[in-house]
Amino acid sequence: MDTGANRQTCPKVRAKLDWYIDGELTTEGNIEVMEHVQHCTSCSREIAKSRELRTRLRAAVQKVSLPSGLESRLRDHLRHGIAQ
């Protein structure tokens, strides 16, 4: 449930949400965000949207097809380069 006191801490927590999702906060920082998010649907929604966006970005980059023969051309290049 969102309370008035909880909403007051939103800006402070929002500034740390990306670091929280990245796993870059200290234990203390993590606890602060987790405690806030348990009672704040708005920040919780923001975390879900950020995570979804990253998942979509990762999938979009990783699904790009690789050129056929990439690895064999690399091996040829290495053999040629090493022989020089």
Q: In Å, how far are 12, 17, 28, 43, 60 from 31, measured between CA atoms?
A: 14, 12, 5, 14, 32
Examine residue 1 and tell whether it contacts other proteins (CB under 8 A): no
The CB-of-5 to other proteins minimum distance in angstroms stands at 21
Examine residue 2 and tell whether it contacts other proteins (CB under 8 A): no
CB contact at 8 A, 67 and 59:
no
* Spatial separation of the C-alpha atoms in residues 72 and 84, rounded to whole Å: 19
Examine residue 83 and tell whether it contacts other proteins (CB under 8 A): no
User: Among 1, 5, 60, 83, which residue sits at the site for other proteins (rule: CB under 8 A)?
Assistant: 60
User: Among 3, 38, 41, 58, which residue sits at the site for other proteins (rule: CB under 8 A)?
Assistant: 58
User: Among 8, 26, 27, 70, which residue sits at the site for other proteins (rule: CB under 8 A)?
Assistant: 70
Residue 40 DSSP class = -
What character string, x for contact with other proteins (CB under 8 A) and - otherwise, covers 11-40?
A: ---xx--xx--xxx----------------
Q: In Å, how far are 15, 43, 50 from 19, measured between CA atoms?
A: 8, 14, 11
